Amino acid sequence: MTTYILKRILMLFPLMLGITLITFTVIHLAPGEPVEMQMAMNPKVGKDARERMRKFYGLDKPLHEQYVTWVGRLVRLDLGTSFSPDNRPVLDKIRERLPVTLSLNLIALLLEFGLAVPIGILAATHRDTWLDKSITVFVFIGFAVPTFWLALLLMYFFGVKLNWLPISGLHTLGSDGYGTFRYLWDLAKHLIMPIMVASFGSLAGLSRYMRSTMLNVIGQDYITTARAKGLSERTVIYKHALRNALLPLITLLGFSIPGLIGGSVIFETIFAIPGMGQLFYQGAMSRDYPVVMGILVIGAFLTLVGNLVADVCYALADPRIRQGG
Amino acid sequence: MSFKQSFFYAIFWQRFKRNHMALAATGVVATLFLVSLLAPVIAPWQPNAINAWSVLTPPSWQHWFGTDELGRDVLSRIIYGARISLKVGFVAVGIAVSIGTVVGLVSGYYSGLVDTVLMRFVDIMLCFPAFFLILAVITIREPSIWNIMIVIGLTGWMGVARLVRAETLSIREMDYILAARCIGCSDARIIFRHILPNAISPVLVSASLGVGGAILTESALSFLGIGVLPPTPSWGNILTSGKDYIEFAWWLSLFPGLSILITVLAYNLLGEGIRDALDPRVKR
């Protein structure tokens, strides 16, 4: 078990190197130079200023040297400063946005798992009944519905028609003056629609997955044994089958990490939520390379580590692997 | 087609046609093909014909799906938009499936160092939030329909590679591969002639699901304004104006969204149908 974990940790290093290589390549697919883009937006900047910029970002050096300096700074957690007029360090920007996106998505994720597990179990235990079939239809619609369209429809009904919920941002203007309770209530109202949109699509996939693992487990011999020795169906399903059916969810949790960070572009843009998705989108649109590179690398690193943690948890939770490895 | 092959297809068809949902989905997909092929014939209006006297009119006998902010007929724009969706779906998935299949075959067949390197590359690619990667490349290069198709393809091959690798690993150990090697077949011939045909059927499933996914991604990009650029109509960019006029023109949001939903649903159900028909464990 320890050897397994150690091996996996050692494996992180080449993978991280690969991540930086791909990020670097992606950015350098660009025609022209980032500095030119920045200058184009501000015609007052003269030629020598442009040269200084080039020097500052190391753009006058050959590619491999640029890569090495970039990785060198990355190791020291220096992601550079943004090209945008505020000129702030990228790491600060990310630090400010990451909690918004992460907490929003974590709530959505909890909601997804909390709903998907019972839905999946229901579908599996009522296989081929009308219940299972209507869940399946719901699940397929969830797969196919474009999130931004869902967001638009919700905005139309709850925001415009019924005027129940605010349609953008996280706070009402002037909410700083509210009392604690009213402030939180205001925040919660702003979060309802984004969270609904964020969780709906994945809910479909998760509950489908839960259904199939549950069916798989129910078909195994030990379940037949449990039934044969006269245990109630309740005990068989919730005590014997469920424990094994829940295991693969750990891996799935690992897989959902890139979505935690990257899946938010659409709804953050639509609902004007100041999170990572919005930051990345704005960065990409204005060719703010330090921001784009920083978020790509950080997002991929977090995923890598998350996957590792998920795999280790899986191994710890499953005695068949724990004792075998 | 040999006897064995036609037998396989006959059984496949027999199982597939019992699945009514999948049959209906096939019908929808076929209709979409016809619609995009015959767009100039069936579209009631020119998709880009601006009419200042009928701006944002609700659905009527003249304009079934209403008109947009420039007085263009929404139905005609949706019909032409079907062409874009179909093209993006198929080209992107074509790229993804080709790369994935070759990587999977090579990785599974040669194993050892080649396998390790290729599979770690797959792991790395899977670490990136896919939409971020797509967004980065498209904004850095020019937003154009070709760039979209290429980028969606380049970021979507990893699942296929893993699938084909797993199939290849088990096929590689079969006797007929040994036989092929004994009579002196080259590696390339064994891979493409003997392994590929037997490893390809699960790929059909992910291809069908992939077309749906690619259509969703394209519409999201077009919606954000970095996909198919106006005036070329795409379901995603019709929805962009739908967002701007959502307070007084619901038809501008409802119909393109429904088109995306139905199309993606059809490809997903088709994929599921193929999966069930191929899976010997599913009995109907």
CATH number of the CATH domain containing A278:
1.10.3720.10
pLDDT digits (tens, 9 = 90+) for A261-317: 766 788 888 888 888 888 898 888 887 888 888 888 988 888 888 888 888 888 887
A146: nearest CA in chain B? B216
Query: Does residue A82 sit at the B interface (CB-CB below 8 Å)?
Result: no
* β partners of residue B67: B73
Count of domains forming chain A? 2
A292: nearest CA in chain B? B136
Confidence at B107, pLDDT banded by 50, 70, 90:
very high
In this predicted structure, the answer to whether residue B81 has a pLDDT above a threshold of 60 is: yes
Asked whether the beta carbons of residue B139 and residue A147 sit closer than 8 angstroms, the reply is no
Collapsing DSSP states into helix, strand and coil, what is residue B57? coil
Q: Do A115 and A172 have their domain in common?
A: yes
Asked whether the beta carbons of residue A152 and residue B130 sit closer than 8 angstroms, the reply is no
Q: Do A144 and A228 have their domain in common?
A: yes
- Pair of tokens at residue A207: 């509950």
Q: Do A71 and A146 have their domain in common?
A: no
* Residue A34 falls inside a structural domain: yes
Contacts of B12 (CB under 8 A, 6+ apart): B277, B278
- Cβ atoms of B66 and B59 within 8 Å: the answer is yes
Q: Do A49 and A171 have their domain in common?
A: no
d(CA A142, CA B81): 22
Q: Closest Cα to residue A83, out of A48, A39, A45? A: A39
d(CA A207, CA A116): 4
- Cβ atoms of A289 and B119 within 8 Å: the answer is no
Of B125, B132, B268, the CB nearest to A140: B268
User: What is residue A52's predicted lDDT score, i.e. its pLDDT?
Assistant: 67
Domain extent, residue A67, equals 16-75
pLDDT digits (tens, 9 = 90+) for A183-211: 788 888 888 888 888 888 778 878 888 88
Chain B partners within 8 Å of A27 (Cβ): 136, 140
Q: Do A152 and A182 have their domain in common?
A: yes
d(CA A322, CA A259): 29
Q: Closest Cα to residue A145, out of B273, B153, B239? A: B239
User: What is residue B2's predicted lDDT score, i.e. its pLDDT?
Assistant: 63
* Residue A120 falls inside a structural domain: yes
- Cβ atoms of A191 and A170 within 8 Å: the answer is yes
User: What is residue A87's predicted lDDT score, i.e. its pLDDT?
Assistant: 76
Q: Do A103 and A225 have their domain in common?
A: yes
* Residue A158 falls inside a structural domain: yes
B221: nearest CA in chain A? A266
Chain B partners within 8 Å of A24 (Cβ): none
Of A152, A160, A269, the CB nearest to B224: A269
Q: Do A68 and A164 have their domain in common?
A: no
In this predicted structure, the answer to whether residue B123 has a pLDDT above a threshold of 50 is: yes
DSSP string, A17-79: HHHHHHHHHHHTTSSS-HHHHHHHH-TT--HHHHHHHHHHHTTTS-HHHHHHHHHHHHHTT--
Q: Do A305 and A163 have their domain in common?
A: yes
The CA dihedral of B219, B225, B231, B237, to the nearest 10 degrees, is: 30
- Cβ atoms of A226 and A242 within 8 Å: the answer is no
Contacts of B76 (CB under 8 A, 6+ apart): B43, B44, B45, B46, B47
Mean pLDDT of chain A: 81
Taking residues B151-180, report their average pLDDT.
91
pLDDT digits (tens, 9 = 90+) for B208-228: 889 999 999 999 998 888 888
* Residue A190 falls inside a structural domain: yes
Query: Does residue A280 sit at the B interface (CB-CB below 8 Å)?
Result: yes
Q: Closest Cα to residue A166, out of A185, A132, A193? A: A193
- Cβ atoms of B50 and B71 within 8 Å: the answer is yes
* Residue A220 falls inside a structural domain: yes
* β partners of residue B73: B67
In this predicted structure, the answer to whether residue B92 has a pLDDT above a threshold of 90 is: yes
In this predicted structure, the answer to whether residue B184 has a pLDDT above a threshold of 80 is: yes
Q: Do A42 and A113 have their domain in common?
A: no
Q: Which of residues 156-175 of A touch B (CB under 8 A)?
A: 156, 160
Chain B partners within 8 Å of A219 (Cβ): none
Confidence at B284, pLDDT banded by 50, 70, 90:
very low
More confident residue, B164 or B282: B164
Give the distance from residue B246's alpha carbon to the nearest chain A alpha carbon, in angstroms: 7
Q: Do A162 and A216 have their domain in common?
A: yes
Of A263, A281, A303, the CB nearest to B127: A303
User: What is residue A41's predicted lDDT score, i.e. its pLDDT?
Assistant: 53
Asked whether the beta carbons of residue A262 and residue B130 sit closer than 8 angstroms, the reply is yes
User: What is residue A42's predicted lDDT score, i.e. its pLDDT?
Assistant: 55
* Residue A90 falls inside a structural domain: no
Token pair 């629609």: residue = A193
Chain A partners within 8 Å of B139 (Cβ): 284-285, 287
d(CA A136, CA A212): 12
Asked whether the beta carbons of residue A140 and residue B265 sit closer than 8 angstroms, the reply is yes
Q: Closest Cα to residue B259, out of B239, B231, B232? A: B239
User: What is residue A325's predicted lDDT score, i.e. its pLDDT?
Assistant: 45
* Residue A85 falls inside a structural domain: no
Asked whether the beta carbons of residue A265 and residue B135 sit closer than 8 angstroms, the reply is yes
Collapsing DSSP states into helix, strand and coil, what is residue B142? coil
In this predicted structure, the answer to whether residue A153 has a pLDDT above a threshold of 80 is: yes
Q: Percent of chain A at pLDDT above 90? A: 2
Of B124, B128, B253, the CB nearest to A258: B128
Lowest mean pLDDT among A28-37, B73-82, B178-187, B225-234: A28-37
Give the distance from residue A180's alpha carbon to the nearest chain B alpha carbon, in angstroms: 33
Q: Do A120 and A163 have their domain in common?
A: yes
Chain B partners within 8 Å of A304 (Cβ): 127
More confident residue, A57 or A32: A57
* Residue A5 falls inside a structural domain: no
Of B127, B135, B265, the CB nearest to A280: B135
Q: Percent of chain B at pLDDT above 70? A: 96
Cα dist. B33→A143, B44, B82 in Å? 22, 18, 8
Q: Which of A75, A105, A122 is the last residue of a domain?
A: A75
Confidence at A50, pLDDT banded by 50, 70, 90:
low
Q: Do A184 and A315 have their domain in common?
A: yes
Chain A partners within 8 Å of B121 (Cβ): 18
In this predicted structure, the answer to whether residue B54 has a pLDDT above a threshold of 90 is: no
Burial of residue A2 (number of CB atoms within 10 Å: 0-12, 13-18, 19+): exposed
Taking residues B176-205, report their average pLDDT.
87
Rounded to two decimals, the pTM is 0.86
DSSP string, A242-305: HHHHHHHHHHHHHHTHHHHHHTTHHHHHHTT--SHHHHHHHHHHTT-HHHHHHHHHHHHHHHHH
Cα dist. B267→B161, B251, B273 in Å? 21, 24, 10
pLDDT digits (tens, 9 = 90+) for A101-127: 888 888 888 888 888 888 888 888 888
d(CA B120, CA B64): 52
- Pair of tokens at residue A68: 């090495």
Query: Does residue A147 sit at the B interface (CB-CB below 8 Å)?
Result: yes
